[in-house]
Amino acid sequence: MDFKSERSFKWLYSQKLEKVKDLARIVQASYLWNEKNKYRKELLSLKSGNSWNLDIRDTARAVSALAHDGTVCHNTERWILSKQSDGAWNENVYDTAYVLSSLADMDSYNPEGCRWLIENYGAKWEHPGTTSLIISALIKQEKLTEKNIYADFVQERSRWLISKKDENGAWKTQATSNLVIQSLILAGYKDELSESVRWLLEKRNDNGSWGKEGGDINTTSLSLITFWKYLHY
């Protein structure tokens, strides 16, 4: 299977990039595939003070992308930690999951945040995309401890995710499927994902992109990241 397509990166690099989210995804995908990472400077240029847009999620995504090439923003780490309240960030599952992943990328273990995710998990978060973000965050945090602190929760929720695959091996949208596949690779279920990966690969548009007709920056970057992880984990 042709996981890496020059057309995909060519399409990405031809897009008008203004969002921190899009830049962060492209920086990560480019780094993983050893592509010329010309957007790293653009991402850094959008940093103002200790954060990106004073936005927790944007900042977490940017920090994670930059950490891949060894850039650790300690002032940003301190800013992020200053925004934690009662274990969470903005009492929001997405902000908290993205932050915990970014802290792990900076080798920063945060047991309070991990505990908040597990203790508050329930029906309102029981969706494939949400659950996969939580699983990924907990696995990345757990690796810093060298203990299996969250293993039971991760494995139980991973099996639940697998049970939610449709007949094509997908989960709702291409973007959601990417997040789920990435989390299940981290959780050790790579052998159960061949059908899902094949489905995703077949969804590539003629211009090399993924997502809606004509292509979507986030979904295309996520797909490239997913394929790299499938090959190397």
Q: Could you list the pLDDT tens digit for every one of the 233 residues in the chain? A: 677 678 999 999 999 988 999 999 999 999 999 998 789 999 999 999 999 999 999 999 999 999 988 888 889 999 999 999 999 999 999 999 999 999 999 999 999 999 999 999 999 999 999 999 999 999 999 999 989 999 999 999 999 999 999 999 999 899 999 999 999 999 999 999 999 999 999 999 999 999 988 899 999 999 999 999 999 99
**Number of independent structural domains in the chain:** 1
Query: What's 38's DSSP letter?
Result: T
Residue 214 lies in a domain: yes
Amino acid at 51: S
Residue 1 lies in a domain: no
What pLDDT does residue 38 have?
A: 82
The set of residues, in sequence order, having a beta carbon less than 8 Å from that of 23 and lying 6+ positions away, is 17, 39, 42, 43, 46, 62, 65
b vs e for 105-120, b when ≥16 Cβ sit within 10 Å of the residue's Cβ? bbebbbeebbebbeee
Residue 159 lies in a domain: yes
What's the domain range around 69? 6-232
The pTM assigned to this predicted structure is 0.96
**Closest CA relative to residue 140, chosen from 170, 182, 100:** 100
What SS3 class is residue 58? helix
Burial of residue 123 (number of CB atoms within 10 Å: 0-12, 13-18, 19+): exposed
What pLDDT does residue 1 have?
A: 66
Amino acid at 130: T
For 57, the token pair is 């999620």
Angle (CA) 30-37-194 rounded to 5° is: 5
Angle (CA) 201-161-103 rounded to 5° is: 85
Residue 71 lies in a domain: yes
For 14, the token pair is 């031809």
CATH number of domain containing 142: 1.50.10.20
Give the C-alpha separation, 211 to 31, whole Å. 21
Residue 184 lies in a domain: yes
What SS3 class is residue 174? helix
Specify the pairing of strand 84-85 against strand 88-89.
antiparallel
